[in-house]
Every structure is written in structure tokens, then in C-alpha cells.
Chains A and B, each alone.
Chain A
Amino acid sequence: MALLEVRHLTKRWPTGRLALDDVGFEVREGEILGLLGHNGAGKSTIMGITLGMVRPDIGEVRIGGRSVQQNRGAALQQIGAIYEAAVFYDYLSGWQNLRVLCSLSGWWDEAEVKRVVQMVNLGRAIEQKTATYSHGMRQRLALAQALLPQPKILLLDEPTDGLDPEGIREFRELILHLRKHHGMTIMLNSHLLGEVEQMCDRCVILKDGKKVFEGPVPSQEKSRRIFQLDTNDIGLAREVLDRCGATMDKHGIVEVPLNMEPHELVTALVNGKVQVNTWQAHRRTLEDLYMGLSSKS
């Protein structure tokens, strides 16, 4: 079931630049969806529209069936978000910041706040003014505020931006924990391909405000069978593969058709007098996919 639906979003900035061009996708319950794209591709604009901070020219976002554009208050009851940089009131403590923010949701439960503070590993630092926080601590506080009060969906806008490797790993584990143990649905906006690959089930790739891909993250794909063929007889190999219904690109990446087993294809190549030097499983990465889409004009 789709918990968040992005429908035909189009947005043109007053400068005339087209930020989004008929973008639509959905985030299903319990999944982690990655929103990928170059700087200015429209990722944050989608986040802004989802939170009702940016108005689309056309289209709408629905959360749990409620339109953000028509009933923002009710729709946002189900969402927790880190939108753009994690900025807090530096002259207040972490705890006071959470209190101010939670009051805007009409909610305060001290026991639950303490539990979330423990979960994000802020501990006693929550009593300190946020001016004293490191970037990692700010991100953890940002996650804490997003998790209060118990949202169904988390929107994370570049959540690991500026974190050190340990911080990124800790953050990633926390996100995966939230999905596994709390059934959280998450939409993650990032330009870090590795991050998306490790965390997300599916991804949407944007380019210049247009959706150019929506589907499973390549590393999560189970049905595709892709191999790397090393041969000196490229032309001959291509002929044999064509006859078998397989395809091979210029780098020797072969996609085995669904009606064949990989070993049958190798047998066909050998029987066709192709000298097979090596034949090994090739894992297509998100980077391959992303760069492939980026290079297309």
C-alpha cells in the first residue's frame, strides 16, 4: 500500500527555471525509498512540497490518502522530517528545542522523548545548549525531533551530509533499525549513491527536474542475471548471443535472457567456437545505473 503518493508535480521557480516536470512516484508502507539526483535536480523541492513549504504549480502529494496541498495539518500528522540543514535554536538546550518543536505538533510525552533521546544516543548532552553540539550531535537531535511524536513516515533530506564515516555508519544503522523494528517508512534524499544503495529498497532518480528512473536499487535486484564475458572473439560472441536472445554491451556485460540458464549460454558460446577466457557474475551497481542515466542526454 502506498503511504506517500507524489502525483504529477510540476514547479517552476519565479526565475523561470523548471524545478520539477511532471514527477510522480509512490512510497510503499515499510519501504525505504531513495531520491537521487544531481544538485538542483529537484530532490529538495519534492521534500519541500511534501512538507507544504513549497507550492507546486501542478500536482499534489498525498500522505496516508490526505492531500498536503488541501489539508496540510492532517497530512503532516503522520510525518517526521529532517528538511535541509539541521538548524536549532543555539541559545536553547536540546531538550528545550524538542519541547518547542513538539508543542507545534500538540504533543508532549516526557517518557517517550527520553526514550527517543536514548535511542539516538544523545544522553546527557540533551541538557546542553545546542550551540555546543558537534555536527553529528545536531544530526542526532534532528533525527530525534523527526521521530517525535511517533511518525509513520520519515523524510530525510541529506541526513548524513557532513558526517564523518563513523557518524554515517551509526546513522545508517539507526535508520535500518527504525525500519526493521518499528516498521518505519522512509523517503531518503541523497546524492551519496553508496548510502542509497546500502539503505534503500527502491530509488527514484531525477535529472533536471524529470524522473528518469523508478525501480529497485540494483543491489536489491534478485531476478536479473548479469555476467561479464571476457573473450577475444567479440564479433562472434555477439552473433551467438544475439541468436540466443541475450544482449552484450561494449564492456562485455551480458544479460542472460529469462528463458535460459547462464550455463546454457556459456555452452552455446563454446559450441559457437567463441573463445571464453572468463565468465563471471557481474553485480550491477547503483553507480552503473546512475551514471548510465546521467550520460544519456
Chain B
Amino acid sequence: MNRRDFLALSATTAAMAGLPLPLAAAGDDWAKAFRAALAEKPWLLGWLGTNEARLETPALTVDGTIPSELSGTLYRNGPAQHEVGGRRYQHWFDGDGMVQAFRIGGGKVAHLGRLVETAKLATEDKADRPVEMTFGTYLPDMRRAANADALNTANISMLHHGGELLALWEGGSAYQIEPDTLDTIGPKTWNPLTKGLPFSAHPRVDSQGTLWSFGYASSAGAIVLYRIDPAGTLVEQGIVRMERVPMVHDFVVTERQVLLVLPPLYFDRERPGAFLDRHVWDPDAGTRILIFDKDDLTKHRTVEMPAFWMFHFGNAWEDSAGKIHLDLARYDDPSLMFETLRWVMRGEYRPATTARPYRMTVDPAAGKATSEAIAEDAEAEFPRIDPRLTGLRHRRLILLGSDGSAPHPLFNAVVRVDPETGERSFYSYGPNAIAEEHVFVPRPGGTGEDDGWVLGTVLNYKAGVTRLNVFDAAGLSDGPLATASLPYALPLGLHGTFVAG
């Protein structure tokens, strides 16, 4: 990028974003192509990224009224540093993680965002270039992936459990974060036997307060299961050995079971390229569901289904007949991850298969499973439920959707749907918005899935700012009760968790 281009961009996008624009390295084709495209497609602002290690706003501008009972912190995480030394990563999921804390109380909101100080970040700060191979980028001068934590970006989600706050990746250790300052404490070691093992970005805390998690160890030929008590002590780890390990982003628990749903996207270390590129989609192998009893992780039953891909589940529960009902955002294949979410980093929009909400029913006794669309017309992702109902029957799913007016590959609306009747409420942020994950926050002392709030962030790329929205859960279509605006745009993130207090 020449100086004139940079100034032109400074005058528009960077000023809009309110943040210094990362400088592209000379000769970095992806960085140059992205900047050229950004001038044409302002929605790319969500993928620009930042090199700021810290972002802070003590009091956001609030429109409307934040309920006085709503008190706590929404912690979010996502890939944020998309360029190191001016060199740009080639997949959305590659960037170094940044934890965003929105502290809500007394009708006010404060924001603090900090990059997670991973081992990778320290190495690359020193080198001032990308050193480690990442999830989706393997440049000629990058190091091979010797072990998972060398490339750990801690960039997917957040978990608060047993008094500890963790920034979650999925290929390696969780990183412990100090909840107030967001200082990085270091990789979380549950016990010596699980040190350095993968810990997923979607652990589940069941109604007993037990934390369940898993991790897929592609190169070691195994998936690890974790059972962690309410105090945060690992009480049991299980190992499922398999010849070919698939990429598995999420899982579910019921009151009695743990279910791993394994799409046929298999790791093959002999293939060239980054971690993602070493995976082969093998639809003939089908999608397998492994069902474990919570009290015996050493064995499982397997149910097979025709191939499908998913990142996320909403929840699962077992009915009185022993059938398990499971909600998910289902794709026909993983092309979104290989195409759209890669090329967007170059400023290109390459459409691929999108997700729809599905209800899957698994009959472990008969060894069968079926699935059915919850709302046939709805594109939707990032399903969440009332966290108190994890593993129990839920009647509300909160998802991101689209009204069809937005020119970008993600979402601009929030949807609340009853997975049993398909009845839905919907709110669109309009054509200039990219909505991020929305979560349900129960009202203190409240009961039921309608008694609380829906919280979520939205990037308005026209205004160049990120906003936090608070809805009455029962009145989603009426629009937000309150909107709190940051003076800058945050890099689009992935998942988060609300910690009351």
C-alpha cells in the first residue's frame, strides 16, 4: 500500500473506526487486497483487526434505560489482531484473541478490551512478524506446529467457573485471565496428566454445577473428556482413541449423558498447509454421534447419520422415553469455513453453505437419529439458551439471523425461537449492522426463559462503532431497551459469557 492509499483510508475507515489503522507490510498481498476492498465494502471493517493491546472506555454513551437490576460483566472473546508486523492472516479464526469486558451496573456500561498475552503473542511481539503456523495460515517462513500451545491464540470464547475466568481456544490449553484487569495469568493446567491437552471453547455447566468439556487432539489420535466439579477441580478425564480425529467445535450434555457429534472432517497430518488445510471432508463416512453415560466415560454407544457439518449446538435434553433432543445450527458441509471465512480476510465475499436451526432426535436404544428444520426459511447461527437449563428441556433458543438486507456474509438480526413450535420473534439491526452472539441473562430471582434479558453486541460499520444492546427477553421484536455505544469499532468476535455481580 502506498502512502496516498493509506491517507485515503485514514480519512475514511480508520477515522470511522476511531482507531489507528494497522499498517500493511510492503509486499503483503493479502493486506493490500484487503485494504483496497475495504474502500469498496465498508462492512469489511469487522475484519480489519487491531494492533492495540488495550482498548478502554469508562462510560459508554447510553440510549434508553438499562434495567437497574442488570448488573455484571459480559465477557467476550474473538480473533482481534489479524496482522502482525503488517502481515495479514488468511483466515478469520487466526487472529490473536482479545477479551472484551462490558461492565454493566447502575444503568451504566464501561468497556475494557485486552489482547490475551499468550506464548505466541510474546514470541511474535519480539519477532515483529507472524512466527507460528496458525489455524488457517502457513506462510513460508512460519514455524511448524511442534505442539498445540505454541499456536494457541486463546481467541474463541470465555468461561467463568469455580471463581476463575478463562479465555478459551480449542486446540490447546485455556488461558486464565484476571477478571478485573484482564491481565493474562497463563495457561490453565487442570492436573499434570492433562497439561497442554486441548480444552474446547464450548464447555457446558450442567444443572448440578458440574463443568463438562472435551478436546480433540488431532495429532495424538484421541478426544479427551473432562469432568470438573463446581469448585473447579478436575475430577475425571476420559480418552476416546480414534484412528482419524475430526474437527469438533462443540458438544452437548443431558442430565445423564455426554454426546460428541463427530462430523466427517478428518485431520490428515500428511497434507500440506495450515491446520485447517490438513483436514479432509469425507461425507461418505457420515456424521457419528458418540453417547457416553456421565458416570462412565470409558465406553460409549455410536449412532450414525448421513454427513452434515456444524459448529454449534444450542442444548440437548433426554425425554422420559429415553430419546435425546438436540438443537443445532446445521450445515450441509464445512465450505463456509474453507471459503467465506478465509477469503473475507482478503476482502472477498465468497458465499458458501449457510446454517439453519435444526432439532435432532437421537434414539440411543434403537441406534437411530433423525433431524428436522426448526424454521425452514431461517438462516441462523450462534444458538444460545437460558444457561440454567443446560441439559434440561428448553423452549427458547436465541440465535443470530438475517433480514436479507445486509451485503455481508454474517448476520444483522437476533431471533428467539421456540424449537418445538417454530414460533419466533425477530429484531433486525438493519443493513449497516453485523450482529454478534447474543446471550440470555436471567433476571435476579427470576424464573423461566422469558424472565430476563437478551444481551448482544453489534458492529454498525457505517457509524464505525460497536454497540451493546439490552432487550427484554419477552419483547425482543420491540427492539432494545437500551443501546450503549463505544466510540470505536471492535474486531468482530465469537463467543462470550455473562457473569452476574
Q: Do A and B bind each other?
A: no
**B interface, CB within 8 angstroms of A:** none
**A interface, CB within 8 angstroms of B:** none
